[in-house]
Structure 1
Amino acid sequence: MNAESRATVPGGSDDDFSDYSSSPPHSPTYLTAPLIPPNGNANPQTFLAKAAIWIRGPRPRLSLTPPSPLLNITLPSRRETTIDLHLESHLNSILQPLQTPIPYVLVILAYTILFSLLAHVQNYNVPPRVHKKCHSTLWGPNSLCGLNGQLCMPMNTSAVWDFKCPSGCADAELVGTRLVGNEEVEYKPLVIGGGDEEGTYRADSFVCSAALHAGIISNNGGCGRIRLLSSFTNFVPSTSHGVSSIGFPSSFPLAYTFSKDSSINPCSELSTTALFFSVSASFLLFLLHPSSKRESSPSSTTSSRSPRSWSSPLTLYYPLCILGFFHVGLFSDTYGAPPSLERLFSLFLPSLFVLAAFYSISIRHTLPALLTTSPISTAILYLPAFWVGALSNLTLEKLPISRLLPSDIVKRPGGIPTFLAILGIVLACIYHQVHIIRKTGWLPFYLRGYGLGVLALLVTGVIGGFGGYTLRVHHYVLPMLYMPLTTFPTRMGAVYQGLGLGMYLNGVAAWGFDSVLQTSLSLRQDDPMNTALPTFLTTSSTYDPSIPLSQQVIKWGPVPVHSEWIGYSLLVDDVQRYVGMEREVAVGGLGTFLNKSVPHFFRLAFKSERAVGDYTKAAVLWPNGTWVDPPPGPSY
């Protein structure tokens, strides 16, 4: 293969790759055979021939060189001359005495010690039951608390205990639609009540959002004290401290109030402090890394190739990834309250294998090349995108399309414009990378590789569909899909790599390696499953208000023939009050909880041996004896 027919690999010439401690990601030998036969059998005027020539790329192929430092600025001046401001070069010369292993190791040790102390104070200096997440509740939805709420009802219904909330709970919201009585609540914090003089909340309210509504904590987090109430009637809605609660005019078996008399000390929320130290440490890693001191010259080839050398980019790459992983797992997006170190370390080792693959496939062709020009520019390119991805629960997931479901995009305010804007940005980024790939002669290889990848995903989705599974591309999978596209030493390639690394670390540390095939039940969150719905035979035309409430009988239709359903689950005022196979229930047999002076809400679902289906929407029995039939459709 002569020099002219060889494809220029990312980073420029072969000598360039030696300098950047990297090598061609794939063998380009397949390009030795021209895509258009030289004997002219293929008609160059045909569409396929033109497409093949376009895919092959231009001749000669583009040779990429590392971009110049961002802060080296050239300004125009008079008389057609320019002024070169080598700001970054001067800063690099100032930093060179510090770009040795000793300052670099000291920064890592100091950060590790400080981070460990912050994590201990934040998560492990109080009993685990004190910690609450923004979506924590004392009562589960629908049938999750069992018959009459026995699985959620505490032994002491007048207990008092302290709690601690993280920051950012003003943004906690229901992912789908939840029915409270006969009112649908969606895409807002679930806070029920709090508008009465005592500030009483229903037990299935988000504890931290309710505490924010009550003024006990701020959006920066805080501590307080909960006092349980065994039962309460008429939860009053209100708007306070930026949080709106909803009302519930009936009774609920468990409620609570708040007070500020917390014994937790200290109660400060340290997530912001930890983020400051983590971002600062990551920037110092770039500035002080010893590889930034060497110049791009043939004489430095030996040290750049050695994986044990302090100047190896691996000594920057892995500390950065470890820093991001544990910051997500212990501060910014914890899985539990407090986070489980056992779970976190069980995910850490497998994640390192994926990170090693990222480096081998793409990052080793970009990060080393940029470090040789300037560590400051490299930090500016990588770190903002890295932290946007690592903090995606605070950045990307705030967008109204976090689940990428058509129902979310259509129903949520701003969903369609946001989706179109993001789609345009993504397409522009893909076009930009494809343009570079084509110019360098690698587009045929990428088309073949991604074609096989798309085929594998389609086969996986079809196979999963036969078993009732849905193909789900989680956000930790997205960087795996697009990271190979960033295998080029360009500024945008560095930005894409930083974002991908952050998204991957957030996905794994916060949620683990979720399966790409999942059932509809595991994906439902607050959404119905679209199962069969039972039918009330008690209707507005058959209900007799002259019969006393305690003697009323609620009736419903049979289960579908040849189905998995064998019985029924009845919710009364959002609490499961009946589970069985009978097709009617006497109101008097449901207990003494029914108050004649308040409305009551009835919802019905089919039940199998293992699960409960979708509930109907609420039928309402008003105090004057009026029965209102449920609207059509399921509820959750």
Structure 2
Amino acid sequence: MARRYSDFDQENIPLSNYTSQDGYDDREATTESGNGSSSYHDTGNTNGQSGEESEEDVRAALYGASPKIDFFIRLWNGPINATDEPPSRIGSFLRIEELPEKFNKRYSRRFKIGCLSLYLALWFLLVYRITIPYLTVPPVVIGEPDTEVKAVSCTGDSEFWRGRNGACGLNGEYCPSFNTEKDIVIRCPALCDRDSFVFSYVPVGDKQIKYRSFVVGGGKLDSDSELLTHPYRADSSPCGSAVHAGLISPFRGGCARIRYTGAKSWFPSKKGSYGTGQSIEFPSFFPSSFSFKNLISPNSSSHVTHCYDPRFMVLILNIILGVPVVFFASGAVAFWVINVVGFWTICLATDPPRDVDPSDPGSFASLISLSLQRFLPSVFIMYVLWHSSVKRTLSNSRKVSRQLGGETSIAFSPLSRVCFWYPFTWLGVLNNVTFDRLPVDRLTSSDLQRVETLISVTILASVIFSCAIYQAYAIWLSGRFRGYLALYGSFIIGLALVSCIPNLSLRIHHYILALLLIPGCATRGRVALSFQGILMGLFLSGAARWGLASIAETFVALNRDDPLGSVLPPEFIGFDNSTGLLSWQEPNVTLSNSAKAALEKFDAISLLINDIERFVGNIAGVNLRELFQMVPELKSSIDSSLKSGFKDDAGNILIYIRIGRKILLDQVYSDFSKAAILKWPSGEFTNSQPGLT
């Protein structure tokens, strides 16, 4: 009978029928018939019939009832002669392709292990010398011993701004002093053109900012003044602002000198550098701002140490040094070396799971601890993936034919591993530079309402579907279609059951997507090499950066810092210009018992004026005329804006007012309303739109 594949390719083939490297059982070994044909026949046939007769018996038994039935039988059982050949060597590069085999035959196993160990040790030491000083040695300004350099993340630091929606406290008391002009030198990592994005709605006046860098105002200053930029609103991302101003490279990071410049009456939108686009406009006053100065005075001999982020240098070095391992070593060695290197490249260079302050030794220790916490389970998963899927694709398997007493072998192409599996693996490892820059976030219904997200998701889904169809055909050709159909059927059923768990939402993180799709890429060939490479890279990116996040998450976790809607703020009634009274009332909604219990904990009303808390009390209104006069800094900002700020055609400035609730003792806030707009001094009041901030 003609030999067929079992569902998961577990049949035993005598070792005398083929040769294989890595000790891997090569299912494509064939025994040639005397006439030189290349079909695969069962050497264990005992019925005395020739291989051709046995094949005819199989065809007669399975096929011939009708064309339609034949089609479905063939679809279900696969081809008579199942094939899954490894990529053959490229004839024009045959001499290069033969180098690994010649190297393996010439040198002993002990010598090769020694060479690999020495190579890996030198590789480690080189990367260590580049990476560790940046993470552990604090930067200093040589020549300015009194100047501290603060290492900050792309999104900022609590020492610069505490947060949104009243996080700075009444009149901004918890945020930097509004009247103190001082210089601060900051060190920013690379990739702050993207990593300074906000992924939860942040209110700026009457706008809601999301999926863009939080940079308000600013822009390059063309005049020859001490300052290099126009003022940025003080809650802007300092590193994102430095990239926007063109002072810090998104590829190397760098250092910048900030000068706090006090209150400003208008923050117009300005075009940024490095493709960052326009900054956010805020056409009103804000009590604090900053601008950038020259890092070092033009005639000074001072300089800043450990300023530039070496992550791309480390990345390029690792990619180059990994090529010889992938080319010369066995599939198993290449798999483990590259995946381990890729994991730690993410953790220490390209996308660390936590920020490191080199002035705090504990922060680097915490990074290593967190990375090790994620590394050990990732190694176990890689072990399972290797034995269940990747081993078949990546091993140095070969096809051997017996012809007239001799043997002809078609060996695995090492260049195919280098040209297909290896670069696609790094493409997945660099997920934060490649796929994360697409306008796709969490695939929630609200995210899919964005046109650019819907287009990107459609394209990605089309690519994945096309790849799935191709791989399904490749698995069918290999005779294992039924087994994989059962496997993926169980995957679908499992996902459906998880999605039905109450109060949880199914979340297919990209590392989970990789785990689901890698088994379907367990075929030989260049296409399978490419698919497995990119999927393994995505697994490493997810596991190293975010950990093995849950496949089912609560709606609160998915919400991030967006409004929850559990406690509604009061609603504005209106503004009486003659008395100066701004009044509000409780929302006209029916509350559940749990909502009433939550509402009772809030004992005060909080009023934000231009995104800064200006009033806290438990009354149903406030006299804005009196409030504007009682707070000296607020009065000064309004007077300055009336002289030189943004004004409408009637000479009014815009004041944005939001209302929310507060627990006084714990400094806890509810959601706030959207901004109402007060035109001052005319008193024209536009109530807030429905929705929360």
Structure 1 and Structure 2 fold alike (TM over 0.5):
yes
Q: By how many angstroms is 1:454 displaced? A: 1.8
What amino acid does structure 1 have at the position aligned with 2:608? L
In the alignment, structure 1 residue 256 sits paired with structure 2 residue 275? no
What amino acid does structure 1 have at the position aligned with 2:340? I
Q: Deviations over 1:244-298 (max 9, x none)?
A: 2223233434432222336531323312211111101211211232x3xxxxxxx
In the alignment, structure 1 residue 369 sits paired with structure 2 residue 396? yes
What amino acid does structure 2 have at the position aligned with 1:125? V
In 2, Cα distance between the equivalents of 1:606 and 1:44? 76
Q: By how many angstroms is 1:453 displaced? A: 2.0
Check conservation: 1:20, 1:365, Cα contact below 8 A: no
The match for 1:628 among 676, 679, 685 is 685
Q: Which residue of 2 aligns with 1:78?
A: none
In the alignment, structure 1 residue 570 sits paired with structure 2 residue 607? yes
Check conservation: 2:76, 2:482, Cα contact below 8 A: yes
Check conservation: 1:21, 1:368, Cα contact below 8 A: no
In 1, Cα distance between the equivalents of 2:19 and 2:173? 66
Check conservation: 1:176, 1:186, Cα contact below 8 A: yes
The match for 1:555 among 578, 581, 584 is 584
Q: Which residue of 1 aligns with 2:300?
A: none
Q: Which residue of 1 aligns with 2:234?
A: 203
Change (3 A) 1:517 1:627: farther
Check conservation: 2:188, 2:254, Cα contact below 8 A: yes
TM-score by length of 2: 0.74
In the alignment, structure 1 residue 360 sits paired with structure 2 residue 387? yes
Q: Which moved more, 1:194-203 or 1:513-522?
A: 194-203
What amino acid does structure 2 have at the position aligned with 1:557? E
Report the secondary structure of 2:572's partner residue. coil
Q: Which residue of 2 aligns with 1:616?
A: 673
In 1, Cα distance between the equivalents of 2:662 and 2:493? 39
In the alignment, structure 1 residue 237 sits paired with structure 2 residue 264? no
Q: Which moved more, 1:617-626 or 1:109-118?
A: 617-626
The match for 1:279 among 319, 329, 336 is 319
Q: Which has the larger radius of gyration?
A: 2
The match for 2:442 among 400, 403, 407 is 403
Q: Deviations over 1:64-94 (max 9, x none)?
A: 221102x324xxxxxxxxxxx6353355467
Q: Which residue of 2 aligns with 1:133?
A: 153
What amino acid does structure 1 have at the position aligned with 2:3? E
What amino acid does structure 2 have at the position aligned with 1:237? S
Change (3 A) 1:94 1:273: farther
In 1, Cα distance between the equivalents of 2:60 and 2:84? 32
Q: Which moved more, 1:138-147 or 1:394-403?
A: 138-147
Q: Which residue of 2 aligns with 1:164?
A: 187
In 2, Cα distance between the equivalents of 1:582 and 1:52? 76
The match for 2:76 among 56, 60, 64 is 56
Change (3 A) 1:446 1:627: farther
In 1, Cα distance between the equivalents of 2:689 and 2:71? 54
Q: Deviations over 1:562-582 (max 9, x none)?
A: 323334543321124456665
In the alignment, structure 1 residue 470 sits paired with structure 2 residue 505? yes
Report the secondary structure of 1:100's partner residue. helix
The match for 2:456 among 409, 414, 418 is 418
Report the secondary structure of 1:21's partner residue. coil
Q: How does 1:40-51 map to 2 (within 5 A)?
A: none
The match for 2:116 among 104, 124, 127 is 104
Q: By how many angstroms is 1:157 displaced? A: 5.2
The match for 2:339 among 279, 300, 321 is 321
Q: Which residue of 2 aligns with 1:295?
A: none
Change (3 A) 1:17 1:209: farther
Check conservation: 1:57, 1:440, Cα contact below 8 A: no
The match for 2:419 among 380, 403, 408 is 380
- Structure 1 gap ranges (5+): 26-37, 74-84, 292-312
In 2, Cα distance between the equivalents of 1:155 and 1:420? 48
Check conservation: 1:202, 1:252, Cα contact below 8 A: yes
In 2, Cα distance between the equivalents of 1:373 and 1:43? 38
Check conservation: 2:97, 2:415, Cα contact below 8 A: no
Q: By how many angstroms is 1:360 displaced? A: 1.7
Q: By how many angstroms is 1:44 displaced? A: 7.0
What amino acid does structure 2 have at the position aligned with 1:451? G
Change (3 A) 1:89 1:145: same
Change (3 A) 1:144 1:430: farther
Q: Which residue of 2 aligns with 1:217?
A: 248
Q: Deviations over 1:89-132 (max 9, x none)?
A: 35546766689233322221111011111111332221698223
Q: Which moved more, 1:126-135 or 1:484-493?
A: 126-135
Q: Which moved more, 1:359-368 or 1:524-533?
A: 524-533
What amino acid does structure 1 have at the position aligned with 2:657? F
In 1, Cα distance between the equivalents of 2:369 and 2:428? 24
In 2, Cα distance between the equivalents of 1:536 and 1:106? 70
Q: Which moved more, 1:225-234 or 1:111-120?
A: 225-234
TM-score by length of 1: 0.80
The match for 2:476 among 438, 448, 460 is 438
Report the secondary structure of 1:565's partner residue. helix
Report the secondary structure of 1:107's partner residue. helix
Q: By how many angstroms is 1:239 displaced? A: 1.9
Q: Which residue of 2 aligns with 1:346?
A: 373
What amino acid does structure 1 have at the position aligned with 2:576? D
Change (3 A) 1:132 1:10: farther
The match for 1:175 among 193, 196, 199 is 199
In 2, Cα distance between the equivalents of 1:625 and 1:475? 54
Q: How much identity, in percent, do the aligned residues show?
A: 25
In 2, Cα distance between the equivalents of 1:232 and 1:614? 27
Q: Aligned residues, how many?
A: 579
In 1, Cα distance between the equivalents of 2:73 and 2:149? 65
Change (3 A) 1:481 1:570: farther
In 1, Cα distance between the equivalents of 2:127 and 2:344? 9
Q: Deviations over 1:348-374 (max 9, x none)?
A: 112111111111211111111369623
What amino acid does structure 1 have at the position aligned with 2:521? T
Check conservation: 1:271, 1:331, Cα contact below 8 A: yes
Q: By how many angstroms is 1:179 displaced? A: 2.5
In 2, Cα distance between the equivalents of 1:145 and 1:361? 54
Change (3 A) 1:203 1:65: same
In 2, Cα distance between the equivalents of 1:389 and 1:599? 47
In 1, Cα distance between the equivalents of 2:500 and 2:667? 26
Q: Deviations over 1:223-251 (max 9, x none)?
A: 11223355444333322435422232334
Q: Which residue of 1 aligns with 2:43?
A: none
Report the secondary structure of 1:356's partner residue. helix
Q: By how many angstroms is 1:195 displaced? A: 5.0
Change (3 A) 1:46 1:471: farther
Q: Which moved more, 1:125-134 or 1:232-241?
A: 125-134
Q: Which moved more, 1:567-576 or 1:329-338?
A: 567-576
Q: Which residue of 2 aligns with 1:33?
A: none
What amino acid does structure 2 have at the position aligned with 1:359? W
In 1, Cα distance between the equivalents of 2:71 and 2:621? 70
Check conservation: 1:12, 1:64, Cα contact below 8 A: no
Q: Which residue of 2 aligns with 1:35?
A: none
Q: By how many angstroms is 1:346 displaced? A: 1.7
Report the secondary structure of 1:632's partner residue. coil
Change (3 A) 1:553 1:280: same
In 2, Cα distance between the equivalents of 1:149 and 1:633? 27
Q: Which residue of 1 aligns with 2:360?
A: none
Q: Which moved more, 1:510-519 or 1:381-390?
A: 510-519
The match for 1:427 among 448, 461, 465 is 465
Change (3 A) 1:6 1:529: same
In 1, Cα distance between the equivalents of 2:462 and 2:445? 17
